[in-house]
Amino acid sequence: MSAAYELPTWAVLPARADAAFDRLARSAAEALRTPRALVVLVSKGGQVFPGAHGLPEPWASRRSMPLSHSISKSVATSGSPLALRDAREHTEFATGPSVQELHAVAYAGVPLWGVHGEPIGVLSVIDTAPRDWTDAELSTLHRMADETSRQLRFRVIELAEQEAHAVAVRDDSAAQSAAEAARAAFVLAEADADRARVVARLSTALLTAETLPDLLHTVDRLVRSPLGATTVLLGVAEAGCPELRVWSAVRAAAGPDPVAGLRVTDAHPLAVAMRERDLVAVATPEEADAFPGLVALPGPGPVLAVHLPLGQHHSDAALLVGWRQPRGLDAPVRAVVTDLARPVGHALDRVLLRDQRLRLADLPPGPARS
């Protein structure tokens, strides 16, 4: 005979003790004077016991058993109560683990009903000896099963409400995270756009630079406005020469001559950036002690020095940008100065090649000089 009800895919409560259902199981055991009583939830995956009294270990701690141990499965699938004087007399149960291992002999079980009118479990009482169940005892068990069903339905709805709230909280958290990520991405995009605009303006302005003063003046003008920088230094070392000549944007108007000289091997940020071909940051006055002989720096503010790539001229170079007041050297500022290196390097390449060409043009005719 086919089952009247299909077992649910999973139990409506997890496999752990529930104080309210433990009390109901204990009350059923006391009312019917049995050593064991169970609030059983049966599913295709097995049976769990949110309520239990007299259940031996390890099952009392596990609160679950496989369906092979379940007499209650027939109650849940049929939706009908079951009362057995001695389960050992029934071929369906006699050789099962419930009888052989757990010594379940007398059994009485009543279905527990869910919110949609389907059986979701069983309230059962079990004795370890044969027993004739009286009508009064079975009536008591039915009454207690009704109360257990009511509490189960309440608990299922309560859990569903909690899960719905948890889903809403997770969705809200995901929405907030997505919004925050979008805001962060927008800020980064705006920063990237601002940086690109600064570099584009500088690149365009440098196209007309023909001399070192022109180049320094252009760079100085454009880094003052968006970056608030107050100092621009340019260091150039000819190939094979140990000297690094330094020009200052502040002094550029006075003429094309360098304002200072360093050695390529010095610890000055310009020399370090040129040698290491990387960005060098001096964020605090204390850090400046590691770079003796800083040239023409106006105050305790930080400096950034970056290597300048030259394509055609046989020289090496670096650019230094500094601030008069203390400020943080955050990632966007470092990125802007790093991005400036390419257009400034290209412009310097052209200026140095132009100077070389003009010097050659001024030489008198004759054999080439070394």
pLDDT tens track for 70-91: 888 999 999 999 999 999 999 8
- Quick check: helix, strand or coil at residue 120? strand
For 113-134, how does the pLDDT look when each residue is reduced to its tens digit (9 = 90+)? 988 888 989 999 999 999 999 9
Whole-number pLDDT of residue 296: 46
Q: Mean of the pLDDT values across residues 216-231?
A: 87
Q: How far apart are CA 260 and CA 21, in angstroms?
A: 88
pLDDT at 61 over 80: yes
Whole-number pLDDT of residue 287: 59
The better pLDDT of the pair 369, 231 is held by 231
For 295-330, how does the pLDDT look when each residue is reduced to its tens digit (9 = 90+)? 545 566 888 999 998 877 778 999 999 888 888 888
Q: Which CATH number fits domain 207-361: 3.30.450.40, 3.65.10.10, 3.40.50.2300, 3.50.50.60?
A: 3.30.450.40
Whole-number pLDDT of residue 190: 78
pLDDT at 364 over 90: no
pLDDT at 2 over 50: no
Beta strands across the sheet bearing 315-322: 260-263, 243-248, 231-238, 315-322, 303-308, 280-282
- Domain 19-164 and domain 207-361, same fold? Reply is yes
Whole-number pLDDT of residue 1: 42
Q: How far apart are CA 262 and CA 335, in angstroms?
A: 26
When pLDDT is cut at 50, 70 and 90, the band that residue 156 belongs to is confident
* 148: nearest Cα among 114, 117, 116: 114
How does the average pLDDT of the chain come out, rounded?
A: 86
SS (H, E, C) 232-296: EEEEEEECCCCEEEEEECCCHHHCCCCCEEEECCCCCHHHHHHHHCCCEEECCHHHHCCCCCCCC
Q: Copy the structure tokens of residue 216.
A: 């320094």
Which stretch of 59-68, 284-293, 354-363 has the lowest confidence by average pLDDT?
284-293
Is the backbone of residue 284 left (phi > 0), alpha (psi -120 to 50) or beta?
A: beta
Cis peptide before 58 (omega within 30 of 0): yes
- Quick check: helix, strand or coil at residue 65? strand
Contact 306, 340 (CB under 8 A): yes
Q: How far apart are CA 157 and CA 165, in angstroms?
A: 12
Contact 12, 116 (CB under 8 A): no
Whole-number pLDDT of residue 318: 95
Backbone dihedral angles phi then psi of residue 280, each to the nearest 5 degrees: -120, 125
Q: How far apart are CA 220 and CA 225, in angstroms?
A: 9
Whole-number pLDDT of residue 292: 52
What's the CATH number for 19-164? 3.30.450.40
| Ranges of each domain in the chain | 19-164, 207-361
Q: How far apart are CA 240 and CA 316, in angstroms?
A: 10
Contact 39, 52 (CB under 8 A): yes
Q: Mean of the pLDDT values across residues 240-266?
A: 82
Q: Copy the structure tokens of residue 347.
A: 């412009």
Quick count: other Cβ atoms within 10 Å of Cβ 36? 21
The better pLDDT of the pair 146, 289 is held by 146
pLDDT exceeding 70 applies to what percent of the chain?
Answer: 92
Whole-number pLDDT of residue 92: 86
